[in-house]
Structure 1
Amino acid sequence: MTSLRIGTRGSPLALWQAKHVAAAIAKNGGPPTKLITIRTSGDRLSNASLSKIGGKRLFVKEIEEALVEDRIDLAVHSAKDLPSERLPGLSICAALPREDPRDAIVASQSNQLDVSQVTAISILGSSKSPLRIGTGSIRRTAQLKHAFPGINISSVRGNVGTRLRKLDDGNFDLLVLATAGLLRLNLANRITARIPSELCVPAPGQGIVVGEYRNNDAETDELLASIADPETTAALAAERALVTALGADCQVPLGAIATPSDDQLIVRGVVASPDGKTLINQEAHGSFADASNVGREVASLLLKHGAESILSAARSMAE
């Protein structure tokens, strides 16, 4: 291989991911890389709700097409943007160590909060007049409404920079965003508080960067294997197995997090009704080698405790 063509979306965060994967490959003695920016349907429809316009595949469709058509050799994605169903002939691999998977509260610059004195619970549970909170995630909305029934949440779309501008322009008092994206964009100073994963279980794959490649491309497979992080790989396998077993998609308020603990993987999953009134929470643990089975075990426990009725209702509401 004389060079590796890497396909990516053009947002600042997507470019950060692609550049860091390219750097990791170079550090391991890989070939020269070329970044190819591809605009996706999700980028063009940036103001619409994902669950209404076709789901997560809108953010990867054109990139995967370029991969299948051999216009690129490797696609770099945020794992949480990948649909649970893989396209035939394509494989994925966790490409970098996982960043902090938790969600974060970001206050507007005019909202003077002492970050050393506040926690996510103290902010969201404040008895003052309800703060206007923006998020693009029905998962966050459902879990936070369950924990704080009086909370005032509305939808916000766009990349991180666009959302922060809407916040600072006064459209919201707070945003809830992925901690990983803020850290990767050198925006740690905007984080007011990180939400404990026990309070709001992250999206499956949150904080994980993945490479996607053709099954018959042994060279790219070897390159990705050389930079893969074993713990992140196991966590991704468990979380995606859980999602697949539930048949879930972005229309469903679903959280999943696999946390390494010594030589074990603790997998936790949550399914909530969109209004937050009902929430089912289950966990299991097992070895790294058995990660996918542990994820499926948690899915089975969720279904056993009534998740199917929530999943069906959420899908019906989205139709």
Structure 2
Amino acid sequence: MSLRIGTRGSPLALWQARAVEQAIRAAGGPPCELAVIRTTGDRLATRDLSAIGGKRLFVKEIEEALLDGGIHLAVHSAKDLPAELPPGLVIGAVLPREDPHDAVVLPRGSRGEGSGGALLAALGGAPRVGTGSVRRVAQLARTVPRARFQSIRGNVETRLRKLDAGDCDALVLAAAGLVRLGLGERANARLTADECLPAPGQGIVAIEIRESDERTRSVLDRIDDCAAGVALAAERALVRALGGDCRVPIGALAVQEADGVALDAVVASLDGRRRLRRQARGPADTAAALGADLASRMLADGAEEILAPHRSPR
């Protein structure tokens, strides 16, 4: 019996699903078939999704197919998974992490030197920076205070076309998406962690399954990447404890070290004036507890006052 892999139909989503399929095949697993599922987020491609449902709109129909048994597993960019999964669903495995940082992209033929923040600052005037991410805006408003941020919707290729057509002066995208699509050369620079911490889970491909599906879980155990799993556990636990969603500006990056895991996290106001950044270290086997504990410390230090204006209405 083959495994049905649920995925969105964008080029990046299909790349990720095929990467999972290839990993399963290389590990001696069963044959797989892709099931492309069109989500509400895909249908509302021109809308500001943070105002009408956020990241859940990109996974809702896929998760419904998973719960109904129409697919055996769902493949997502981990950064797009809401902090809380529906009852009965879990992350069954992750692939090795690609570059977790954000990339700055200039119109084709443009040149620049230095880090991503330096590149944006060197644009002069009040550069139009394409990104709809509140996390990026909140951090870059401090790094590049003159920038005018504007939402650029669409898949990676669409956004690059809009940049080259003059819709904005620079784009900020996840470096991992560019690399996976063979477009890594379009990145003029990376934003350093000091300039802009990435989204929790950025660069990680997550595989969602039914909690009760032991057969699929046993297959995924063969391809699960331990280091990426540890990082994701810490980052997602932090976001859950902070009460984060797509409207809330939270950056986080966990890195596995020889003696454990190091977690760096930030919350900031959209204008960049209020900012709280904290770090923590702990054993890799307690990564989730590390994330939750760091969130508690940040809340005690005033994170809620920064985040409250951005929360989705209950």
For normalisation by structure 2, the TM-score amounts to 0.97
> What is the alpha-carbon distance in structure 2 between the residues aligned to residue 248 and residue 119 of structure 1?
28
* Structure-2 residue corresponding to 1:272: 268
The answer (yes or no) to whether the contact 2:79–2:201 under 8 Å persists in 1 is yes
Structure 2 residue identity aligned to 1:59: F
Q: Which amino acid aligns with 1:307?
A: A
1:32-64 deviations in whole A, cap 9, x for unaligned?
A: 000000000011111222210101110000000
Q: Which residue number corresponds to residue 59 of structure 1?
A: 58
Residues in 1 aligned to 2:136 and 2:154: alpha-carbon distance in whole angstroms? 16
Q: Structure 2 counterpart of 1:72, which letter? A: I
Residue 300 of structure 1, CA deviation: 1.3
Cα deviation for residue 305 of structure 1 reads 1.5
Post-superposition CA distance 1:182-203 (Å, at most 9, x none): 0000001100000001210100
Offset from partner CA, 1:126-146 (integer Å, 9 cap, x none): 272122110121100110002
Q: Which residue of 2 aligns with 1:230?
A: 226
**Alignment of structure 1 residues 197-208 onto 2, 5 Å:** 197-208=193-204
TM superposition shift of 1:94 = 3.6
Q: Residue 311 of structure 2: SS of its match in structure 1?
A: helix
CA shift, 1:29, in A, is 0.6
Cα distance, 1:261 vs structure 2 = 1.8
Structure 1 residue 148: Cα displacement: 2.2
Q: Residue type of the partner of 1:30? A: G
Partner residue of 2:49? 50
Superposed CA RMSD in Å reads 1.4
Change (3 A) 1:65 1:127: closer
| Separation (CA, whole Å) in 1 of partners of 2:284 and 2:227 | 7
Q: Which one is further off, 242-251 or 128-137?
A: 128-137
Correspondent of 1:184 among 180, 183, 208: 180
C-alpha separation in 1, matches of 2:246 and 2:304: 15
CA distance in 1 between counterparts of 2:308 and 2:267 reads: 11
Q: Partner amino acid for 1:122? A: A
**Equivalent position amino acid for 1:48 in 2:** R
SS in 2 for 1:17: helix
Are 1:146 and 1:279, in contact at CA under 8 Å, matched by a contact in 2?
no
Report the equivalent of 1:160.
156
**Partner residue, 2:11:** 12
Aligned to 2:243: 247
Write out the 4+ residue segments of structure 1 that deviate beyond 6 Å after TM superposition: none
Aligned to 1:221: 217
- 1: CA distance, partners of 2:5 / 2:61: 13
Residue 130 of structure 2 corresponds to 134
**Residue 170 to residue 217, structure 1, CA distance change in 2 (3 Å):** same
- 1:216-254 Cα offsets, whole Å, 9 max, x none, are 110111111110111100001000000010111011011
> What CA distance in whole angstroms lies between the structure 1 residues aligned with 2:132 and 2:309?
20
Amino acid at match of 2:302: G
Is 1:306 aligned to residue 302 of structure 2? yes
| 1:193 and 2:189 correspond | yes
Residue 90 of structure 1 aligns with which residue?
A: 89
Q: Provide TM-score, normalisation by structure 1.
A: 0.95
8 Å CA contact 2:117–2:143 kept in 1: the answer is: no
**One-letter amino acid matched to 1:8:** T
Q: Distance in 2 between matches of 1:200 and 1:93?
A: 29
Task: Report the equivalent of 1:113.
Answer: 111
2:139 aligned partner: 143
Measure the CA separation in 1 of the matches of 2:229 and 2:85.
16
The answer to whether residue 289 in structure 2 is matched with residue 293 in structure 1 is yes
SS at 2:304 equivalent: helix
Q: Is the 8 A contact 1:257 1:269 kept in 2?
A: yes
Name structure 2 gaps, 5 residues minimum. none
* CA deviation profile, 1:164-184 (whole Å, cap 9, x unmatched): 111011101110000000000
